[in-house]
Structure 1
Amino acid sequence: MSLGVQVAKADEMDKWFRDFKQTASPTQLYAFLWALPKGGDLHNHLSGAGYSEWWYDIATDQTRNGGYQYYTKVKINQCLGYGANEYGAGRQLLLFKTIQASTYRGLTRCQQQEYKKMEALSEDEKQGFLNSIRLDKDYEGRNEFFEAHWSRLNELPANPHVIAYILLKNMQAFGNEGLQYLETQVGVRGKLKADGSRYTPEEALAILTTMLDSEEAQATGVTVKFQYTVLRFAPSAEDDLRWVYGFIDRHRDSYVGINFAGREDNDKGYPLRFLPVLRELRNQYPAIPLAIHAGEVDEPNRHVRDTLLLGAQRIGHGLNTITDPDTLLLMRHGPYLIEINLISNHLLEYTEDYSNHPFGEYLRTDIPVALSTDDRGMWDSTMTDEYYIAVNEFNLSWQELISLGENSLKHSFLPETDKQQALATYRQRLAEFTRAIINNHTDMATDMPAKRQFICRYQPDLCHQG
């Protein structure tokens, strides 16, 4: 197709989309965005990306979870002798903490009576478990998320067979809504066998890569690469980073980058803590890309600038970059990208309202941005939900909309040849979609209950419009 024809098609689609937004019902807009080809999800925590139902399904299916039996806590007995030996102070009072059979066998009789086999839960108990690992109440926010959700999952993510299943389910779900690339954060240290002993990191990684090579995974059409995450405020974070560098260097076919995660309001994880060790490691290893959480905090600070000084190519969240004019200027026109997580930032109370989010300012001052899902299982959301909010709240033009997918692939950590192929595939899919829209040949039907569930939650006043 000649450049002139491409420009004409782009202009025609821009007008079509402008008119469509003015007349479409909520479900029509959602259906369009569901069908829209999407690039990549660059900010995805795999252990936070599993829907509650997926966790329950794999926990109770020993034919797929490696033969593990799981128990979850359904009552509090106030047993004598509770303390730091069981998961740390205070965590003994948390319902729906999940453990595997090898751990259960090590509990006292009193403690065992607090737990139930996952498959033996009553309907009310099962619903309680499902609700316990997603933010489904107005009064729940970041403390519930950071302090309780992960503690409840507990030993489920320590099983690499379980994580491989969560990975497959994500690939299938993302493939259904048109995503072509997933760059997810997943670790392989400390994984537990059914008897409580540990897998080597290589054994755990092999279980994940076997899943990626399976027919089920290949059928999704989604390409997956991994990032390794370092918990930024851990006392051992520097040594952890040294280990991660060496591991990724040995497994560059699977791992493409490193991330630092953890609450930024814990000052022990301040960015410049890691500058000396990163300089040490860059003298020892070929370059490993960095995509680091920064600016996911309430107060103005210079964490984003300091994170760029660490060598980060991408900033996760970047909310408070808006408070640092010098860094804003530095980020205009690239080469750095901000990974935008609209739903996460709202549910964790970093933005009071979507209209307060700086996404529009970044987008329209030429700071590269892409939408991502963060811990989507705990929000019970999809990439299409992120797109729907972006279009609805920020009145995106067609060119702005498709730039999000383009940016996600341009700023991915794929090897250059693979990146160019991914971009070519995305542009081809988008061209076919655009032609079908203009020629009125696109079937945008999607699962109506799923669409209505999100629209009614996000726009209850418009729910009746269909």
Structure 2
Amino acid sequence: MWGKKVCHWGVRLSLGLGLISCACVAAPDDMNKWFRGFKQQASHKQLYQLLWALPKGGDLHHHLSGAGFSEWWYDIATSPQRNGGYEYFTKTRILHCKGYGTNEFGPNPQYLLFRTIQASSYHALSDCEKQEYHPLSALSEEQKQAFLNSIRLDKAHEGRNEFFETHWQRLNELVANPHIGAHILLKNMQAFASEGLQYLETQVNVDRAQDNKGNPLSPEQTLSIYLDMLASPQAKATGVTVRFQYALLRFLPNAESHLAWMYDFVDQHRDIYVGINMVGREDNDKGYPLRFLPALRSLRQRYPAINLAIHAGEVDEPNQHVKDTLLLGAQRIGHGLNTITDPDTLLLMRHGPYLIEINLISNKLLEYTPDLSTHPFPEYLRTDIPVALTTDDRGMWDSTLTDEYFVAVHHFNLSWTELVSLGENSLKYSFLSSEDKRKALEQYRHRVAEFETAILSGSTALPSLPPIRGFMCNHYPTLCEKG
């Protein structure tokens, strides 16, 4: 297509139009040379603009309940037309109500502001407790902003304890509403489409939903709400392919029995569920990997193979949990941070067949690698351990997949070939069927080739950017400067 034409290189950036061009069309091998020159001259905003427009493959490590931006939660939860007719109340003050529940202060987290409940739960409260809550739809502007801030890590003193111990506890019964979940899914699809993603593999659980009167919904009823959303014209218009994983909270006392239920449910819904993921805070040793080896071996005797993507190595100390996770049968490792401390496992993972799902922003904000210069990502990438960039709980980081790409290029000087390989790996190591994976890879390679052609021929005007989100503004403030 390109022939072997070689030309003198010049990178021209038109700040007003966002144009990027070369003096003439070049051979494909020159893309690395072009990108190297571009990085040397480009501002943060110009680099971000290029990465926003870059075709992207998939997001493989995506907790749906953690992937809703604060304003999405609020807007959907306060819209009965979209949330299924539910009404919500959130805690805005603490009155130290006494004399109810199983002890003096009751069984619920009494000191957690912005813990949100639905109307059926609100009406069951004592008169004193009701005074602690305010209708979500009637918050003052100050209260609304505090609610929005309460479910994202936006302050320097916040870290993993704030995340693990308050965010989902505040969302609380919002997460039990599948209508909200389905709309959060749609918003993710629309947002991802705008930054060039073509595949989303997200974690969706359907066994603990309830209707607006507080009655349990069956898993089948809940799943149908999500499937109806995926079949909607709005979802189809995004062009984003979606598959689900089922998430096992690994440290719960009944985790083995829940895993058995998941195996059966995923086996019955293989058209939409492509795997199971073991999740949860890894410094809670009750969820150690080898706990599940007997259960998984028993389940593999009864069910055809089910894909496993398991969180491992998201801890501060060295251990062999990643190696143990591979023994469980994992095909993908979530985070894999401390794999760098286990040389035998590093050697085992070179050249595949396992992929590490890299979450740079998550690892920074949760203080596993507060200094990104110590992150093992470039060591994995450049010693041929398959990796892909993923977003984890992006709503709570207030970030995008483009943000992950920017952080990677900015801190680790990625080449164009390395950049494109991340998108390719995200599809190659997805849990799509073989035929769907082949088609997805073919589509991705075609999109990248078209993008390269447009850049090198000078025929592209990069799109204008949406407002850049909080993580980038906090850590790379020049991106958010006006002008």
The TM-score, its normalising length taken from structure 1, stands at 0.96
Cross-structure match for 1:459: 476
Structure 1, residues 43-79: CA drift from partner, whole Å, max 9, x if none?
0000000000000001100011100001100000111
1:330-369 to structure 2, matched below 5 A, reads 330-369=348-387
Give the 3 Å change call, closer, same or farther, for CA 312–86 of structure 1 in structure 2: farther
AA partner of residue 293 (structure 1): H
- 3-state SS in 2 of match to 1:155: helix
Cross-structure match for 1:400: 418
Q: 2:301 aligned with 1:291, yes or no?
A: no
Which residue, 427, 436, 453 being the options, matches 1:409? 427
For the residues of structure 1 that align with 2:291 and 2:242, how far apart are their CA atoms? 30
1:105-254 to structure 2, matched below 5 A, reads 105-254=123-272
For the residues of structure 2 that align with 1:406 and 1:324, how far apart are their CA atoms? 26
- 3-state SS in 1 of match to 2:184: helix
Structure 1, residues 86-120: CA drift from partner, whole Å, max 9, x if none?
99746111000000001111100111111111111
Count of aligned pairs: 463
AA partner of residue 107 (structure 1): L
Q: Structure 1 vs Structure 2: percent identity of aligned residues?
A: 68
Cross-structure match for 1:39: 57
Cross-structure match for 2:465: 447
- 3-state SS in 2 of match to 1:99: strand
AA partner of residue 98 (structure 2): L
The structural deviation recorded for 1:446 is 2.4
The structural deviation recorded for 1:266 is 0.5
Structure 1, residues 144-178: CA drift from partner, whole Å, max 9, x if none?
00000010000001000000000000000000000
Asked if the contact 1:412–1:419 (Cα under 8 Å) also holds between the matched residues in 2, the reply is: yes
Unaligned runs of 5+ in 1: none
Q: 2:119 aligned with 1:75, yes or no?
A: no
For the residues of structure 2 that align with 1:377 and 1:270, how far apart are their CA atoms? 27
Structure 1, residues 399-452: CA drift from partner, whole Å, max 9, x if none?
00000000000000000000000000001111110100001122213226327x
Cross-structure match for 2:282: 264
- 3-state SS in 2 of match to 1:93: coil
The TM-score, its normalising length taken from structure 2, stands at 0.93
AA partner of residue 142 (structure 1): R
Stretch moving more, 311-320 or 111-120 = 111-120
Give the 3 Å change call, closer, same or farther, for CA 105–359 of structure 1 in structure 2: same
Structure 1, residues 16-67: CA drift from partner, whole Å, max 9, x if none?
1110000001110000000000000000000000000000001100011100
The structural deviation recorded for 1:459 is 2.3
Cross-structure match for 2:23: none
Give the 3 Å change call, closer, same or farther, for CA 62–142 of structure 1 in structure 2: same
Cross-structure match for 1:317: 335
Stretch moving more, 77-86 or 134-143 = 77-86
Give the 3 Å change call, closer, same or farther, for CA 208–88 of structure 1 in structure 2: farther
Cross-structure match for 2:44: 26
Which residue, 291, 299, 309 being the options, matches 1:273? 291
Q: 2:321 aligned with 1:306, yes or no?
A: no
- 3-state SS in 1 of match to 2:228: helix
- 3-state SS in 1 of match to 2:89: strand
The structural deviation recorded for 1:11 is 1.2
- 3-state SS in 1 of match to 2:82: coil
For the residues of structure 1 that align with 2:218 and 2:472, how far apart are their CA atoms? 44
Asked if the contact 1:185–1:229 (Cα under 8 Å) also holds between the matched residues in 2, the reply is: yes
AA partner of residue 142 (structure 2): D
CA RMSD of aligned residues (A): 1.8
Unaligned runs of 5+ in 2: 6-25
- 3-state SS in 2 of match to 1:252: coil
The structural deviation recorded for 1:3 is 9.7
For the residues of structure 1 that align with 2:284 and 2:412, how far apart are their CA atoms? 32
AA partner of residue 68 (structure 1): Y
Asked if the contact 1:70–1:101 (Cα under 8 Å) also holds between the matched residues in 2, the reply is: yes
Asked if the contact 1:44–1:375 (Cα under 8 Å) also holds between the matched residues in 2, the reply is: yes
Stretch moving more, 89-98 or 260-269 = 89-98
AA partner of residue 347 (structure 2): L
AA partner of residue 208 (structure 1): Y
Give the 3 Å change call, closer, same or farther, for CA 84–377 of structure 1 in structure 2: farther
Asked if the contact 2:61–2:201 (Cα under 8 Å) also holds between the matched residues in 1, the reply is: yes
Which residue, 45, 68, 78 being the options, matches 1:50? 68
